[in-house]
Structure 1
């Protein structure tokens, strides 16, 4: 969780003054419990034994366990006033982030483990997957401890995160509903549709679905069109668009290099697979990137969700939270392989979303991330055909 810009219910207090308060104690206790659970789930594969020859996997699991141990010690020291908030918070958050990254790497490498649930009939859950989720919670609680957030503020921020994810899920459902509604008259008028026509119909449903959710969200919070940041791009905006596009490709190349160097693999986007099978789809896909995907995804996630989160989080905190939601809802686009490959792809999406969120925050003009987003996608799909 991230500190607010002054709109929270409780002003930020000095970490030393909140150690003994019951409200701060709740956050610290929760952090200790979650970190301890993370430590337990991280160590499960070691207790169950690693497969022969899985030296790299075992090393990843050991490193994940040690990172979780550091987070637990940080919260333990904070809980018993052995560490100060400005020390324990960053240490816990940093250890949680390392736990998150290492557990993701372990999952990609095939190290999972299993945790039996004390409920009859339920299947065991992969321990590394649990570690990954719990590690994310440790990061948030560590930041909350560093910022001396109250339990109420932690709850409020968590609910806003859940809301952002729910909006993204509603967007996916709205697209599916719009596709079904549009398909009925399309098939009635045209009969069997070609692959190009189906692709065109899907992008029309994409615009209707995301546009409807964005409009509904604004209506729910009683916001009018003045909330939308639409303006003729200035030279400064053009500079941010170009710079953002460059950084997007830097992030993509850097992420690809890291994955290659560490032996990780990522799943292919469903649209990339479709273009590989039928390059003619580019006649529809390329214009759609600029006219539909870029504008409508940025409308919902940046101008609607991210901007609304400014009321609860700091501006850069809102960028991070929105990027979490943005990455999660893209899971269906990469659901072509196992959990490890999917996780690596979503990590890349998260990094790219941070760039788009930042250039929107800096320019406050929806067209800037929309153009950068559309151009980035268009170049990627074109390269699939050319290479």
Structure 2
């Protein structure tokens, strides 16, 4: 992290964000070193290092968004990589180390948590592939019967494929881990659940509005979801995606990323830690969907997804009822798609 922030400074990059990020990187390193030498309380040093590392993540992410990647060539390879992106990633890792240091988690604990996070991240990425396989399984016999699919028919098939593929993936994970369908937290909503659904919808749109205002104030730009570009050419697909959001997208994404990924993380992390790690996984798997612009704009879009994931994760943790985040997620997507449809129709 030090190298990734200080090298741009030595190269004369005139960006206040990078300069300040470099200063926070130095603070992080000094805090860790002081803790190791016994000249600073371990937990206090972890708090300082963690806060400074978060600052590096935010500042390097902002620099990326403003088009300051500071790329360098890799010796012996015809390729280059961004120092600022390296600072962004290593800053996130430094935050994790600081948290582990604060709670006194040793190497064995780090290894166990890393293994579980890796496995569940792989499962999360499986959530990208499984719907495509499911859609193919459905599309082949349908195309054999009716011929080439129209655009709307393709969207319907893709949504059915998402339900089939995600459902099979979840069933497979439950089977190999020795669990059954009782692991799925689905029950009739109580009055409290209904209030949290209503409040969750309000909070998730409030979170989106707050992030949007922050982006406008700081000049941060985000990328569009791939569906937005498709809808610009074929607005009628949104008429399928509005109900599909409530019936398929919300329920099945929440089934996988909250009921399976987040709940499994409870076994190694605190509830708060599981929500945060689950939110990171959920955001990262959306990279492909938002890869419609440069890396800096994609990072901003994923930050929005992460914020929304924290709301959904908290709702699931508070209620332990899959129906609550599923409905909030579904209504959120449905409203966005409906708004897009009216915008393009006008």
TM-score range (shorter-chain normalised) is: over 0.9
Tell me the alpha carbon deviations over residues 70-117 of structure 1, each in whole angstroms, 9 at most, x when there is no partner: 111110111111111220111111111111111111100011113444
- Matching of residue 110 in structure 1 with residue 67 in structure 2: yes
How far 1:383 sits from its partner (Å)?
1.4
1:133 aligns with 2:89: yes
Q: Which runs of 4+ in 1 moved over 6 A?
A: none
- Per the normalisation by structure 1, the TM-score is 0.86
Q: Would you say 1:284 and 2:230 are equivalent positions?
A: no
Matched-pair contact (CA < 8 Å) for 1:44–1:113: no
Matched with 1:23 is none
Structure 1 CA distance for aligned equivalents of residues 12 and 143 of structure 2: 56
1:43 equivalent in alignment to 2:42? no
Deviation, structure 1 residue 345: 0.3
- Structure 1 residue corresponding to 2:119, chosen from 153, 163, 168: 163
Aligned-residue offset at 1:271 = 1.6
Question: Separation in 2 of the partners of 1:182 and 1:44?
Answer: 52
Structure 2 distance, partners of 1:363, 1:134, is 34
Cα contact 1:90–1:142 (8 A) shared by 2: yes
Q: 1:201 is paired with a residue of what secondary structure? A: helix
Aligned-pair CA distance for 1:49: 3.1
The equivalent of 1:222 in structure 2 is 178
| Aligned residues of 1:45 and 1:127 also touching (Cα < 8 A) | yes
Assess, with a 3 A threshold, how the Cα gap between structure 1 residues 143 and 108 changes in structure 2: closer, same or farther: same
TM-superposed deviation, 1:348: 0.4
Equivalent positions of 1:306-325 (< 5 A) are: 306-325=262-281
Q: Which residue of 2 aligns with 1:182?
A: 138
Superposition deviation, residue 366 in structure 1 = 0.2
Number of residue pairs matched by the alignment: 343
CA distance in 2, matches of 1:324, 1:333: 15
Shift of 1:122: 5.3
**Residue aligning to 1:330:** 286
RMSD in angstroms over aligned alpha carbons?
1.3
Counterpart check, 1:88 vs 2:88: no
Match of 2:311, SS state, is: helix
367-376 or 167-176, which moves further after superposition? 167-176
- Of the candidates 3, 12, 16, which is equivalent to residue 59 of structure 1? 16
SS of the residue corresponding to residue 266 of structure 1 reads coil
Contact in 2 for aligned 1:275/1:381 (Cα 8 Å): no
Question: Following TM superposition, by how much is the alpha carbon of 1:308 offset from its aligned partner in structure 2, in angstroms?
Answer: 1.0
What CA distance in whole angstroms lies between the structure 2 residues aligned with 1:164 and 1:354? 17
* TM-score (normalizing by structure 2): 0.96
Gaps of 5+ in 1: 1-37
Cα distance, 1:161 vs. partner? 1.7
Look up the match of 1:4: none
User: Distance between the aligned counterparts of 1:95 and 1:365, measured in 2?
Assistant: 36
